[in-house]
Amino acid sequence: MFEKVLVANRGEIALRVVRACQELGVASVAVYSDADETALHVRHADEAVRIGPPPAGKSYLDVDALIEAAKETDAEAVHPGYGFLAENAAFAAACLDAGLVFIGPSAEAIEKMGNKSAARRLAGEAEVPVVPGSDDASSANEAAETAGGIGYPIMVKAAAGGGGRGIRVAEDEEGLRKAVQVARREAEAAFGDGTLYLEKLLVTPRHVEVQVMGDHEGNVIHLYERECSMQRRRQKILEEAPSPGISPKVREEMTEAAVRLAREAGYANAGTVEFLVEGDEFYFIEMNTRIQVEHPVTEMLTGVDLVKEQIRIAAGEPLSLKQEDVPLVGHAMEFRINAEDPDQDFMPSPGEVSFLEVPGGPGVRVDSAIYHGYQIPPFYDSMVGKLIVWALTRDEAINRARRALREYRLEGIKTTIPLHLRLLEGDAFRAGEYHTGYLEELLNGD
């Protein structure tokens, strides 16, 4: 096991990793920008290193500064968390070159699965179904020819994309040609790579992902699925597991497909294989080569600490459990608490937390890194916490979530808590019959 781990992130995930290190008896090093000097992950870590000014490009995305911080504190390994450099193959390679262990998959696996069009090809080799489309759309003419064979509507997507960026929808050829231009510009600006690919747009699919974990001995297991269809502009708002919208047969086939793909990629550490589902058909769309924001949902269902498992695997230990040992008990939900105003088109709401009271009780977990008097900076993602609930049944989980959300008092800023309470009252959600377009329809009054 490592003696010391540097956590190359901020906010609740940095605090989550620091706590996992503490429970493993591993010293932790926090990094922080000038905006995060008083952050909780800085307070709780054994050591902390300033890495730059507030803009992420000059701090949390500064590879050289992060490597230097690890070296000067004698850290042996780096945990990237999620976001920032977590899926950056060059960062994983830089850690290796510096003699540091990257707590995640290899740079090669990140490169292989991070490129969405390459991942589609690999899925085909692993006999995992993919959405009809093309692996490359290098020109508008080529895209138009491909789309003509697939049929509209069509999605233009960035091969290096993520987080809903570099994606455009086209209803016809004229719209497709415009979408290719816009998506390429956006992808080049966001990812430094303008490569695009096409996918047939499934109009009302569910978005379901499978948590996988592999070790360096070639063992790969799944820890079941998570339902992620509650989205706004392709950003997840709420997740739950098990999915209320798939049959046991689809669950078995999908989880087996996810494990097959991870094995084909030579994957070690935590990863998530994402699918779109329509009826009993499912299609691979991408693999996230990192721990997910919504990993607590799986932890509540299975009792497996995914972050500690990540650290153990990176240290060379085998998986701590076999597939047949992974339990699936009850129902869990996660509600992302964002500093946004849902009544003002989700405008970010940075500022001071003037009052904070978090919910508790059986089956309630809050992952957050804010406190009374904390100043939420305007430079980073707006998520300030996650409320996770567990109960034996889905109905009980909904009732527990309603109670916990009502207890959650966060004043001084606007949050998505009222939106979550509204979602819980929706007939479609309560019946488990929602899809990726449901939230947009609800907000638009459709």
Residue positions annotated with a catalytic role: 290
Measured over all CA atoms, what is the biggest interatomic distance in the chain, rounded to whole angstroms? Answer: 59
User: Residue holding tokens 């939230």?
Assistant: 439
Encoding tokens for residue 373?
């008097």
Judge whether 50 and 32 are in contact, CB under 8 Å: yes
Mark 48-80 as b/e (b = at least 16 C-beta within 10 Å): bbebbeeebeebbbbbebbbebbeebebbbbbb
| Burial class of residue 93, CB neighbours in 10 A (0-12, 13-18, 19+) | middle
Judge whether 49 and 69 are in contact, CB under 8 Å: yes
Encoding tokens for residue 401?
């979530």
Residues 6+ apart with CB under 8 A from 92: 102, 104, 105, 106, 107, 110
Judge whether 183 and 156 are in contact, CB under 8 Å: yes
